[in-house]
A and B are shown apart, each in its own frame.
Chain A
Amino acid sequence: MIPVTLPGAALMAAPVITEEPPAIDYGLLAPMLVIFGAGVVAVIVETAVPQARRRVVQVALTLAAVAAAFVLTVLQVGMLPADEAGATVAFASVAVDRPTLFLQGTILLLGLISLLLIAEHRNGESAFAAQAAAVPGSDEERAHVMAGSQHTEVYPLVLFALLGMQLFPAANDFLTMFIALEVMSLPLYLLCGLARRRRLFSQEAAVKYFLLGAFSSAFFLFGIAMVYGYAGSVNFARIAESIDAGGAGVVENGQPLLLLGIGLVAVGLLFKVGAVPFHNWKPDVYQGAPTPITALMASCTLVAAFGALLRVFGVAFGGAAADWRPMMWIVAILTMVVAAVIAVTQRDVKRLLAYSSVVHAGFILTAVIANTAEGLGGALFYLAAYGFTTIGAFAVITLVRTHENGPEAGDITQWAGLGRTSPLLAGALTLFLLAFAGIPLTSGFIGKFAVFEAAVAADATPLVVVGVLSSAVTAFFYVRIIVQMFFAEPEGDGPTVVKAGAFTGSVIGIGVAATLVLGVYPTPLLAELLPDPGGETPAAAVGFTR
């Protein structure tokens, strides 16, 4: 049952100690609490369970927790009253509404799939370093590899990152959002540095990601301060009211504060999304991080970051859309054009997909700019569709190696002839690439159509024209991979494909199925997202609650 939303007055009340503790509906927070609890238990498991059995316990615990949280999230959607957008919890610091639940459900589901990839184990070897603290190439490292050590800390770290991702789009005030941002980011910084092979790359990626991420967090925090100065509150509903009223009167002529605040907050959020000019971390981090972690970041983090972006710009800054729209136009155009052009020169498959992810962020930004119900629904669909496809693509990458027990084949020339030696695997990747390129009958096309349709309806047709032109450019490099796989003669023996374990195999299978189903019959999912033309079914596009 959904409780009555706490009256706004409670927020403004002076910090007097009241007799009664605040009523918090823990039921609404249950999915997050499950993940949090599991994370804490996983830390205890690290100390309490002997090393030999630790991995099995961690994998089972993590998968069960994420699955349970997903089920709880789906149940919550059913419990929302049809006539209500949602509710806020804990002094209106967390919102539970249809778009948020959709985002959280997507994050958990994609997280679950990524976890399968993370848990994959071949010949006693995972994607993670045996001992991350050992100097790369040292005797100590070798000893740990021989001893078969492994970092099962990966699982609690992923759980905490997922908790942050759940909270990020649900946060209904800036402070909660900032906490979510940090909870989400810190484990990811660590996870990026844990690659088993090419460890220096991996460590470099982690440091870069951490430094740039810290910078962007600082921008974000600074922006919060500005907005607080303007609105006198960090709560999104209050900020929206202040903007509608033309300022809260905290300071005289506070408009510059608001504009600065919007700009700085945007820097923080656009960094997480990976929009140009805040995209530079993406190729390095995607390339250096262990591929399963890259898959997690490319899917779940993107969903969470866009969820937060949509909420902040839709709810808090929605009234100032005329002010932020020009800025977003420029960012979106730069994102689509610059990333597409740079991607053409890339040779490493993971870097390529990183730039591709930047371009996709640009496409989704066109829906953010539309700032309409259609835009929201389209962006949510796009995120879900893209998430499944991108995890599948990275799963394929984990299997293609330069030689037996060798590192992943990064350079695309090493992929030559894959279509002859492993037609199924190459076929799956081809499908994913075609979905990225937005070819009809794949989910990527429906997603692209949904966001572009929203943008055209909101009079942003020039953006859409830029979008389709950059699509044509990006098609060039997707096609190049296909050419390498199917039309080129293999060099020597060609790439080696390690046998897909049950986990990786099912990840690719889920990716293929989702890409096809969402491309051919997306109607059931869209019905959850977009207002039904005839019926009265509540859809996520009714918007975020305030």
Chain B
Amino acid sequence: MTIPWLTLAIALPALGGLAVALLPRDRAETAKRVTLGVTLATLLLVVAMAAQFAPSGSGPLQFEEVYPWIPQFGISFAVGVDGIALVLILLSVLLVPLVVLAAWHENDDAPDQGKGYFALILVLEAMMIGVFAATDVFLFYVFFEAMLIPVYFMIGRYGRGEGRRRAAVKFLLFSLLGGLLMLVAVIGVYVYGGTFLWSDLADPAGGLAGVDTATARWLFLGFFVAFAIKAPMWPVHTWLPDAAGSSRPGTAVLLVGVLDKVGTYGMLRYCLELFPEAAKWFVWPVVVLSLVSIVYGAIVAIGQSDMMRLIAFTSVSHFGFITLGIFAMTSQGQSGAALYMVNHGFSTGALFLIVGFLVARRGSAAIADFGGVQKVAPVLAGVFLVAGLSSLALPGLSPFVSEFLVFLGTYAFHPVPAIIATSGVVLAALYILWMYQRTMTGPLPDSLAKLRDLSGREVWAVAPLIALLVVFGVYPKPLLDAVNPAVERTMQQIDVSDPAPAVGQAGSSSGGAEGESE
């Protein structure tokens, strides 16, 4: 425990970002290489840390570090991870180098701007690790809000199309509004709980245990609204399609693949564990909103004419599944939700990256601008198909495992929401396959006759994701082993146990999951 793993993992990209920002303007090439090097080093560092993670360790958190920061307000720089936080950090540090690789030539038109984009990516990476690792509510809030600034510039300054300024401002204002409401709740947590340390606050014997019911519900709402905007959940999702549609594909990968996960992660970590009673009281409203998100996101996705926006809407639908799994309050549901966050990062990340390759070739993400691509670029079409199928949760690919677990958990909670949610799967087949059909199959327009297939660099950028989709689709045990102890602890914390099965004998959650992964 002598190595401050998490602090190092936060500091490395942060310092890298600073270094890249300080490079002279004409050194765009150096900036790219430094960025890739730093992100790979961070990946190695985090993997080395994860190798020492003991899934069934003694305490809830591992690699804990606590340093006093602002003692006058009881604020510390406290970091630590449980299984869920660890897999999300792993997801983040894996996606970032892929995004850098995919964005390699994006700045070639305006080399003097290139280093800014890469510096922002590195700063963002530091904050992404920080936000998942923070175990001090104040520190979490600091990362949660500060993260907006790099993304804001990544969309507004480096985004695509005329709408990018509006989209960036919309993104920032939506997020700020949620964040500021959360600030009131964060202050409330301190005033009522007397500390910011998550482990003390979540302690059922102390911390927030004495807060009266009404206050706890308000505090829950303060956090929940911020996370719902972030997630994004219907009806506060409207910023996401604009932001994703106006950003570079790489930005969209990080935005949807990682940043939005902060919302669902926050629900699990803060809403449920700090305010268990209030969370139980809000179960049905959240379940209903989740169902609306699932169905609405899917239906609207079908109608999109722009692939970036389409994928953004599918994410609204997918995030509905995640929140449904979290608030079903069953261990399968929550394991599924935690797993879903990771798998969605893989599959959506791959989709956005591939669309990015299409954009780089054609200069447009409009579905109407494509057709018959598989004839000239079979590899591209192939990975697009795999990524698409993973998005619709085809068995054998990893999102299937998580989606199935969510269904299982939701059904145990109540059959009706589970049945409604299944419609999302049907609609998913529609939006994915129809998009594939219109862009990759059919007659090849003359304008696309010279379309290049994936280059080596581009293959390297998506291959890891495709591989992981397949590996964890067949063998999800490592992920589940990491996630399950954390979920069990959460269930204990909120003092719920799985409902007794109506028929037959339900296995333990991990056993059940293995059964489904044939």
Residue ranges of A at the interface with B (Cβ–Cβ < 8 Å): 377, 419, 434, 437-441, 445-446, 448-450, 452-453, 456-457, 461, 464-465, 468-469, 471-472, 475-476, 479-480, 483, 486-488, 521-523, 526-527, 529-534
Contact = CB atoms under 8 A, between A and B. Distances in A.
Interface string B175-213: 011001101100110110000000000000000000000
B71 A534 contact: yes
Interface stretch (B145-153, B252-260, B297-305, B351-359): B145-153
A214 to B, nearest CB: 39
Contacts of B148: 439
Interface string B468-507: 0000000000000000000000000000000000000000
B283 to A, nearest CB: 25
A439 B149 contact: yes
A441 B165 contact: no
Contact of A468 (B71, B141, B143, B183): B183
Given A439-B146, A476-B173, A483-B165, A527 B72 contact: yes
Contacts of B169: 476, 479-480, 483
B72 A526 contact: yes
A486 B153 contact: yes
Nearest to B156: A487
B271 to A, nearest CB: 19
Contacts of A452: 183-184, 187
B146 to A, nearest CB: 5
Contact of A461 (B71, B172, B188): B188
B72 A479 contact: no
Contact of B191 (A438, A448, A456, A479): A456
Contacts of B149: 434, 439
B72 A530 contact: yes
A523 B146 contact: no
B71 A523 contact: yes
A486 B156 contact: yes
Given A457-B191, A476-B169, 7 more contacts: A449-B183, A453-B191, A469-B180, A479-B152, A487-B156, A487-B164, A526-B70
B172 A475 contact: yes
B399 to A, nearest CB: 33
A530 B183 CA distance: 21
Given A475-B172, A523-B71, A465 B184 contact: yes
A465 B183 CA distance: 9
A464 B180 CA distance: 10
A483 B156 contact: yes
Contacts of B187: 449, 452-453, 456, 464
A480 to B, nearest CB: 8
Contacts of A468: 180-181, 183-184
A438 B72 CA distance: 19
Contacts of B73: 449-450, 453, 526, 530
A471 B149 CA distance: 16
Contacts of B180: 438, 468-469, 471-472
Interface string B160-176: 00001100110011001
Interface string B261-293: 000000000000000000000000000000000
Contacts of B70: 446, 522-523, 526
Contacts of B165: 483, 487-488
Contacts of B188: 456, 461
Contacts of B71: 523, 532-534
B415 interface: no
B72 A486 contact: no
A457 B191 CA distance: 6
Interface in B59-84: 69-74
B433 interface: no
A81 to B, nearest CB: 22
A533 B72 contact: yes
B142 interface: yes
B28 to A, nearest CB: 15
Nearest to A539: B72
Contacts of B157: 419, 486-487
Contacts of B152: 479
A440 B145 contact: yes
Nearest to B164: A487
A436 to B, nearest CB: 13
A434 B71 CA distance: 25
B173 A472 contact: yes
Among A461, A487, A523, A533, find the residue whose CB has the most chain B CB atoms closer than 10 A: A487
Contacts of A461: 184, 188
B173 A532 contact: no
Contacts of A434: 149
B176 A472 contact: yes
Contact of A464 (B72, B74, B173, B184): B184
Nearest to B146: A440
Contacts of A523: 69-72
29 contacts: A439-B145, A440-B145, A441-B142, A441-B146, A445-B142, A446-B70, A448-B183, A449-B73, A449-B183, A449-B187, A452-B187, A453-B187, A453-B191, A456-B187, A456-B191, A457-B191, A461-B184, A464-B184, A468-B180, A468-B181, A471-B180, A472-B180, A487-B156, A487-B157, A487-B164, A487-B165, A523-B72, A526-B72, A533-B71
Nearest to A465: B184
Given A522-B70, A523-B72, A479 B146 contact: no
Interface in B386-437: none
A359 to B, nearest CB: 13
Nearest to A455: B187
Interface string B317-334: 000000000000000000
Contacts of A522: 70
A441 B143 CA distance: 9
Contacts of A437: 176
A527 B71 CA distance: 9
A459 to B, nearest CB: 10
A296 B139 CA distance: 34
**7 A-B pairs with the lowest CB-CB distances in the bound complex, closest first:** A468-B180, A440-B142, A530-B72, A472-B177, A526-B72, A440-B146, A487-B156
Contacts of A456: 184, 187-188, 191
Contacts of A530: 72-73
Given A456-B188, A486-B157, A487-B157, A479 B173 contact: yes
B143 to A, nearest CB: 8
A529 B71 CA distance: 12
A452 B181 CA distance: 12
A475 B174 CA distance: 11
A486 B259 CA distance: 23
Nearest to A437: B176
A491 B145 CA distance: 32
Nearest to A464: B184
Contacts of A471: 176, 180
A472 B184 CA distance: 13
Contacts of A438: 180
Nearest to B112: A420
Nearest to A470: B180
Contacts of B173: 472, 475-476, 479
Contacts of A526: 70, 72-73
Nearest to B113: A420
A476 B141 CA distance: 20
Interface in B61-112: 69-74
A471 B183 CA distance: 11
A304 B71 CA distance: 28
B20 to A, nearest CB: 14
A536 to B, nearest CB: 14
B83 to A, nearest CB: 27
A515 B185 CA distance: 25
B63 to A, nearest CB: 23
Interface string B446-459: 00000000000000
Contacts of A449: 73, 183, 187
A475 B164 contact: no
Contacts of A448: 183
